[in-house]
Structure 1
Amino acid sequence: MSRLDSMRRRLSAQIDGLNWAARLTDAMPGDVLELGLGNGRTYDHLREQLPDRRIWVIDRVLQPHPSCVPPAENFLLGEADAMLAELALRHVKVALAHYDFGFGVKELDVEEGARLSPLIAPLMHPGGLVVSQQPLIGFTRIDGPDTIDPERYLFYRATG
């Protein structure tokens, strides 16, 4: 499969997965957490799908398309560990999290997901959903939409 075809599959899975998770968490209290802003496409989609939710965004840099810059009060600039700790201090509770961090090196991505998982878990509303490209730990893995290859995108329910 070409890289372009692979990208199309990833983007389709991302859209289907986020729409599915947004519907499932619609009546649940809590905010949304975007872990990794990048150029802002996913953030833009989340704010369109969930216009009444506060969307927290964490990233090391702020370089999105100009139309996708989150409000300053919702953007935490820095390393994820410190920013997740900051959200915990603010007693933020999240109904839906999208984990989109990655270096592009599978071993490093898996290691980072495992390291950050225990910092994400306390922020989650019980029963909240995490949509992720990387494997996470400490969450219950669930089946996502039938349109998505189970290894393309991962879906987790928060416990506790």
Structure 2
Amino acid sequence: MSRLDSMLRRFTAQRDGLNWAAQHIAGLPGDVLDLGLGNGRTYDHLREILPDRRIWVIDRVLQCHPSCVPPKQDFLAGEARPMLEKLHCLRARIALAHYDFGSGIKAEDVAEAARLSPVIARVMQPGGLIVSGQPLVGFQQICGPDTIAPERYLFYRA
């Protein structure tokens, strides 16, 4: 599979997974968390499908497209662990989290996701959902939408 085809498959899985998760948290109180802003595409999509939810964003630096800049009070700039701890201190409860951190080096990305999993768990609303590009630990893995190939995107319940 070409890298272009792989990217298109990943983006489609990401969109379908977020749409599915947004439907499944209807009625569950809590905010949304985007872990890894990047260019801002996912954040922009979350704003569109969950317009009534507060969307927290964590990333090392703000370098997204100008149309996708989150409100200053919702953007936590810095390393993930201390920013998740800050979010916990703010008593935020997350109904839906999207985990999209990664360097592209699979072993390092899997290890980082495992290290961050317990801190993510501390901010999740019980019953909340996590849509992730990396395997997480300590959560109940669930099946996402049928349109997504197994292991392309992962789905968890807190």
Query: How do 1:69-108 residues align onto structure 2 when only pairs under 5 Å count?
Result: 69-108=69-108
User: Partner of 1:38 in structure 2?
Assistant: 38
Structure 1 residues not aligned, in runs of 5+: none
- Shift, 1:122, TM fit: 1.1
Q: Secondary structure of 2:37's match?
A: coil
RMSD: 0.4
**CA offsets 1:103-151 (integer angstroms, 9 cap, x no match):** 1000000000000000000111110000000000010000000000111
Alignment correspondent of 1:55: 55
CA distance in 2 between counterparts of 1:79 and 1:137 reads 19
In 2: Cα distance, 1:76 partner to 1:90 partner = 12
Q: Give the secondary structure class of the aligned counterpart of 1:104.
A: coil
Cα distance in 2 for residues equivalent to 1:63 and 1:149: 31
Aligned equivalents of 2:47 and 2:27: distance in 1? 16
By how many angstroms is 1:26 displaced? Answer: 1.7
Identity %: 72
Distance (whole Å) between structure 1 residues aligned to residue 56 and residue 26 of structure 2 = 17
Unaligned runs of 5+ in 2: none
Distance in 1, matches of 2:56 and 2:8, equals 26
Mapped pair 1:115 → 2:99: no
Between the two proteins, the alignment pairs up a number of residues equal to 158
Superposed structure 1 runs of 4+ greater than 4 Å apart: none
How many Å separate the matches in 1 of 2:131 and 2:34?
10
Q: Give distance in 2, aligned partners of 1:65 and 1:120.
A: 26
The offset of 1:93, in angstroms, is 0.2
SS in 2 for 1:103: coil
Q: CA deviation at 1:27?
A: 1.2
State the 1:11 CA deviation.
0.4
Give the secondary-structure state (helix, strand or coil) at the position aligned to 1:26: coil
- Name the SS for the 1:151 alignment partner: coil
* 3-state SS, counterpart of residue 33 of structure 1: strand
| Letter matched to residue 17 of structure 2 | G
Q: TM-score, length-normalised on structure 1?
A: 0.98
CA distance in 1, matches of 2:67, 2:138: 35
TM-score (norm 2): 0.99
Task: Measure how far apart 1:154 and its partner are.
Answer: 0.1
